[in-house]
Amino acid sequence: MSAHESKRMITQEQRQQAADALLLAEQTRQPITQVSRTWPDMEIEDSYAIQQLWADSRVRAGARVVGHKIGLTSRAMQMASKMTEPDYGVLLDDMLYPDGARIPASRFHSPRLEVELAFVLGKPLGGKHVTIYDVLDATAYVTPALEIIDYRTEVPRAICDTIADNAAAAAMVTGGRVVRPMDVDLRWVAATLSKNGVIEETGVSAAVMGHPAMGIVWLANKLARHGIGFEAGHILLAGSFTRPTAVAAGDTIHADFGPLGAIGISFS
């Protein structure tokens, strides 16, 4: 059997069926069977295609693409998911919440929070051979962020399930102090995450591939293969430097980024 024959994939029609099922799961808050179980021939490439079909449907319904998120940027998370590289998802305008927001927990199935930095671009970024210097040069400012991740499928999940499900991206919050990328050593931005007054997680952003901008380098080069670049104003979530923390209605969250300020939100 040739290498090509051994790499089975699913049809475009099956990809669309999977995307439609994930869209319905998101709308109804009712998780579906893992897509990798429903379509066992699925490969990573199929998963990204399903994610794109899902995003296309959301955009046709009125949402706007405002950026991307990068996941699995830490070695611990890659080992946990049996992946050797990060993954990525799309950020849409209706996923954005401001600091101080009261967020309805009912919007999600099983929400968890991750502590990250968001890079906001001042000019376009893309093409092959993007370097960390290109990323820092294109970034207008960096700001503290929280990502809300969620599952629209049952668990346990294979990596194909997570990627197809928009790399688990559900919402994000930005706040704290805006800084220019050269004004602080971004590797040593640290944060604590408190839930109802108890510190649940701590971390330092160097956990993201040695420098949080490295995830964006990886993503820019990855998407260049598909002719996709980033636009000025795009928000790029660089990857979590804490483990996920589960949240539910009634929880109050405080993420303290030290000199970069803090983010406070609550769930209703």
Average pLDDT rounded to a whole number, residues 213-240: 95
- Report, as an integer, the average pLDDT of 146-162: 95
Please report the pLDDT score of residue 6 as a whole number. 47
User: 133: pLDDT confidence band, cut at 50, 70 and 90?
Assistant: very high
Please classify residue 219 by burial: count the beta carbons closer than 10 Å to its beta carbon, then call 0-12 exposed, 13-18 middle and 19+ buried.
Answer: buried
Range of the domain at 149: 65-267
pTM exceeding the 0.85 threshold for the entire prediction: yes
191 in a structural domain: yes
* CATH code for the domain in which residue 143 is found: 3.90.850.10
Q: Tens digit of pLDDT for each residue in 36-69? A: 999 999 999 999 999 999 999 999 999 999 999 9
* 46 in any annotated domain: no
- Classify residue 231: in a domain, yes or no: yes
Between residues 171 and 85, which one has the greater pLDDT?
171
204 — pLDDT class (breaks 50, 70, 90): very high
Which CA distances in Å does 90 have to 39, 51, 225?
23, 8, 17
Residue type, 17: Q
Counting the structural domains of the chain, the total is 1
Tokens for 233, please give them: 């104003």
- pLDDT (average), residues 91-99: 98
Alpha carbon distance 62, 68 (integer Å): 18
Q: Distance between CA 99 and CA 266 in Å, rounded?
A: 10
Whether 36 is covered by a domain: the verdict is no
* % of the chain residues with pLDDT over 70: 97
Which pLDDT does position 195 carry in this prediction? 98
In the structure, what pLDDT confidence band is assigned to residue 81 with cuts at 50, 70 and 90? confident
Pair of tokens at residue 86: 């990060």
pLDDT at 7: 65
- What is the pLDDT, as a whole number, of residue 3? 43
pLDDT value at 5 more than 80 = no
Residue 3, in any domain of the structure: no
- The answer to the question of residue 233 being in a domain is yes
14 inside domain = no
**Sheet with strand 198-204: strands edge to edge:** 102-103, 262-267, 252-256, 190-195, 198-204
The DSSP-derived string for 174-230 is: E-S--B-TTTS-GGG-EEEEEETTEEEEEEEGGGTTTSTHHHHHHHHHHHHTTT--B
- The tokens describing 266, both together, are 């609550």
Asked whether residue 174 is domain-assigned, the answer is yes
Characterise 261 by phi-psi region: left (phi > 0), alpha (psi -120 to 50), beta (else). Answer: left
Nearest to 18 by CA among 39, 40, 3: 39
